[in-house]
Amino acid sequence: MLKSKYLFSIAIIGLLFACNSTSPTTKVATEKTTPIKPSSMDNKKYSTHQVPWSEINSFEKIPFDYQVPYGEEALQIGELRTPLELDTFPLVIFIHGGCWLSDYNLDYVSNACADLVADGYAVWTPEYRRVGDEGGGYPNTFTDIQESVDFARTLADIYPLDLENVVVMGHSAGGHLALWLATQQNLPKGSRLHNANPLPIKGVVSLAGITDLKSYDALGNDCSTAVAKLLKGDQKGLDARYYKGSPINLLPSNIPMTLIQGELDNIVPTTQGDTFAAKAKTKGTTVKVVTVEGAGHFDMVSPYSAAWSVIKEELDLIMQ
């Protein structure tokens, strides 16, 4: 088996030209949310302290292999990281968070993405228009994510990605968007957010994801104040957008969903996941919720945290 990725350089260059000229467009068992202790706590690689944002922000960005546009807008780009050997790789599409704000970009998840690549996954990390960007917010934040995920079909034309094994993973606001993707089939056909042909995905892993925009907005913390900016519009319009933008309102779903959350998360409380699971049950949809003991919001994206070992175990279970 060849060890070099660079045989695909010509194909990647061709893809870049093509994208610049044309705009592309099982149920799992419910787990009670009693905090669990990560099984790898004795592994010296993993730290058991609660990870602050300053630590995540201090990580040096891990270089990507390819940067590829999925649309014509400046922020409609993504980073593809791949294992060294040329083979057919299961794909993780990792949606970054940051309160849907332009202040935070995909750089902060590069270390987590690189760790998944070391485990044999290809990782596609899309950027998207956010609050503060030209064109950011409703509906473009949502439709950018739809387009970036569906673009995996094009990536698979020039790189050996296994589209039978695709999991969407997202952190915080990215977790919200990942869960929203899993429920988007219930949007009305007349909606600007309706997607007639979404990429089939094997599952979703939400890391401290927001499930209900209205209740999160009411929380009033620094991150939740971005909800109204994300949705924008008069009160009548906001009510409709709260509904269409919240995964909890779009249940049921036939896509397996695993929600992983930190017991000590003070940015996205565990009630977001717990309430979602309870509502899903009434709709005949079973989701798995895992609450990690002692973990906070940013443990979810540190490859050195004890929570990360739990996340990788859950990902592996979905990919089996």
Confidence of residue 4 (pLDDT cuts 50, 70, 90): very low
Given this model, what pLDDT does residue 23 score?
Answer: 33
Within 13 Å and on the Cβ side, how many CA atoms surround 318? Answer: 30
pTM above the 0.95 mark? Answer: no
Given this model, what pLDDT does residue 14 score?
Answer: 42
pLDDT tens-digit series, residues 86-121: 789 999 999 999 999 999 999 999 999 999 999 999
Given this model, what pLDDT does residue 170 score?
Answer: 98
Average pLDDT over residues 229-242: 85
Mean per-residue pLDDT over the chain, rounded: 87
* Cα-based angle 289, 82, 177 (whole degrees, multiple of 5): 35
Given this model, what pLDDT does residue 44 score?
Answer: 42
* SS3 assignment for 78-100: EEEECCCCCCCEEEEEEECCCCC
Assigned token pair, 214: 């209205």
Assigned token pair, 41: 């706590």
Average pLDDT over residues 34-39: 42
Residue 187: pLDDT above 50? yes
Q: Smallest Cα–Cα separation from 226: which of 108, 106, 98?
A: 98
Number of other CB atoms surrounding residue 247 within 10 Å:
30
Given this model, what pLDDT does residue 51 score?
Answer: 95
The DSSP-derived string for the chain is ----SGGGHHHHHHHHHHHHHS-------------B--TTTTSTTSB-SPPPHHHHHHSPPPPPSEEEESSSSTT-EEEEE--SS-S-EEEEEEE--STTBTT--GGGGHHHHHHHHHTT-EEEEE----BTBTT-STTHHHHHHHHHHHTHHHHHHHS-EEEEEEEEEEETHHHHHHHHHHHGGGS-TTSTT--SSPPP-SEEEEES----HHHHHTT-STTTTHHHHHH-S-HHHHHHHHHHH-GGGS---SS-EEEEEETT-SSS-THHHHHHHHHHHHTT---EEEEETT--SGGGG-TTBHHHHHHHHHHHHHH-
pLDDT tens-digit series, residues 169-180: 999 999 999 999
Assigned token pair, 248: 């909890």
Residue 142: pLDDT above 60? yes
Residue 33: pLDDT above 90? no
pLDDT tens-digit series, residues 191-205: 999 999 999 999 999
Given this model, what pLDDT does residue 239 score?
Answer: 87
Bigger pLDDT: 288 vs 84 = 288
Given this model, what pLDDT does residue 49 score?
Answer: 77
Average pLDDT over residues 22-50: 44
CA–CA dist 237, 312 (Å, integer): 39
Confidence of residue 12 (pLDDT cuts 50, 70, 90): very low
Average pLDDT over residues 133-144: 97
Given this model, what pLDDT does residue 45 score?
Answer: 65
Given this model, what pLDDT does residue 112 score?
Answer: 98
The CATH homologous superfamily to which domain 6-212+247-319 belongs is: Alpha/Beta hydrolase fold, catalytic domain (3.40.50.1820)
Residue 238: pLDDT above 70? yes
| Residue 9, phi then psi, degrees to nearest 5 | -60, -45
Given this model, what pLDDT does residue 233 score?
Answer: 72
Q: Are 188 and 249 in contact (CB under 8 A)?
A: no
Average pLDDT over residues 281-306: 96
Average pLDDT over residues 24-51: 46
pLDDT tens-digit series, residues 43-65: 446 776 799 999 999 999 999 99
